[in-house]
Amino acid sequence: MPTTVQILVYRGEPVDSINYRHAALFFKFPNGSQSLMNAEGTPGLFEFKAREDYAPEFSIKLAATIPVAEFSDAVNPWSIRPVVSATPIKNGDLGWNCQNWVADALGRLVDFGYLTTAQREPAYRQMIRVIMEAPDNS
């Protein structure tokens, strides 16, 4: 079983709007483990968080699961996590959020040879579409 990466998009809190939709990366590894990696917080106070053995299918806030790619069996949590966790958190930019972090983390996976741009771009565009589908755009 290869390692897979997906983008998860969650409905926003306190309202489901473009600005409040949360995005994260979700990895399933050949050893059966799963990991959610994301930037959590509020503008100016984001930090990297990882949740091991997370099961997104049980979240009532999950709006979409977007497949990104499959990696070789040699890719494991110990090789992926350092690359993803080193994605810069831009707390100095109050317009920056978890959605930007997902795009930047995918870019790092391209830079390190885990993904190609051809794999990253359609998944990124689909994430934007799902975010834009939020019912409250105020």
DSSP string, 66-93: EEEEEE-TT--HHHHHHHHHTSPP-TT-
Examine residue 137 and state whether it is found in any structural domain, yes or no.
no
What is the arithmetic mean of pLDDT over 45-63? Answer: 96
Tens of pLDDT, residue by residue over 17-43, are 998 999 999 999 988 999 999 999 999
Q: What percent of the chain has pLDDT over 70?
A: 99
Examine residue 53 and state whether it is found in any structural domain, yes or no.
yes
Mean pLDDT of the chain: 94
Domain containing 48: what range?
3-132
Residue 16 has pLDDT above 60, yes or no: yes
Query: Cα(43)–Cα(100) distance, rounded to whole angstroms?
Result: 12
Query: Cα(102)–Cα(109) distance, rounded to whole angstroms?
Result: 11
Supply the pLDDT for residue 85: 97
Residue 73 has pLDDT above 80, yes or no: no
Examine residue 38 and state whether it is found in any structural domain, yes or no.
yes
Q: Kindly indicate the confidence band of residue 57, based on its pLDDT and cuts at 50, 70 and 90.
A: very high
Tens of pLDDT, residue by residue over 100-109, are 999 999 999 9
Q: How many domains does the chain have?
A: 1
Examine residue 138 and state whether it is found in any structural domain, yes or no.
no
Q: Kindly indicate the confidence band of residue 136, based on its pLDDT and cuts at 50, 70 and 90.
A: confident
Rg for the chain (alpha carbons), in Å? 14
Examine residue 91 and state whether it is found in any structural domain, yes or no.
yes
